[in-house]
Structure 1
């Protein structure tokens, strides 16, 4: 059983490294989003309604992105909880 637990921990560690790599790859996207948010002040000749529509679209996109990151974080936490619970049970 201990070998299975070690295998599971190794797999989780590899998965988390891959997630970390994925998040690092997403950093330029986050930087781009920040730049785009800075441009929300509007373009010359743009109406207030156009600015509002653009701001709403950006807000929805960022909300979706952050929601997906939160779901990923929760999945990782759930995964670790199961492993730690099993580990604790093995030690008892």
Structure 2
């Protein structure tokens, strides 16, 4: 079983406002990952998202803030916190 799960949304964007957001989330099973993917896909203006089950880490790239990602994950019952030493990085 793979420990890294990835997804991608396609859209057109003409402004370079993409960020890389990293959060720590408890990942216990594949069902958790499915719920996280479903929730993250609903965020507007995301470019890609990755879940690393081994590190309990979710990475979202796009026109998104740390607060948005954490809020979406909390809505599905996940305790999400900013990744240690994470920096919002422009992805241009």
What's the TM-score bracket when you normalise by the shorter of the two chains?
Answer: under 0.3
The structure with more helix, counted as a fraction of residues = 1
Structure 1 length normalisation: TM-score? 0.24
Structure 2 length normalisation: TM-score? 0.24
Larger radius of gyration: 1
The structure with more strand, counted as a fraction of residues = 2
Which has the bigger relative contact order, CA under 8 A and spacing at least 6?
1
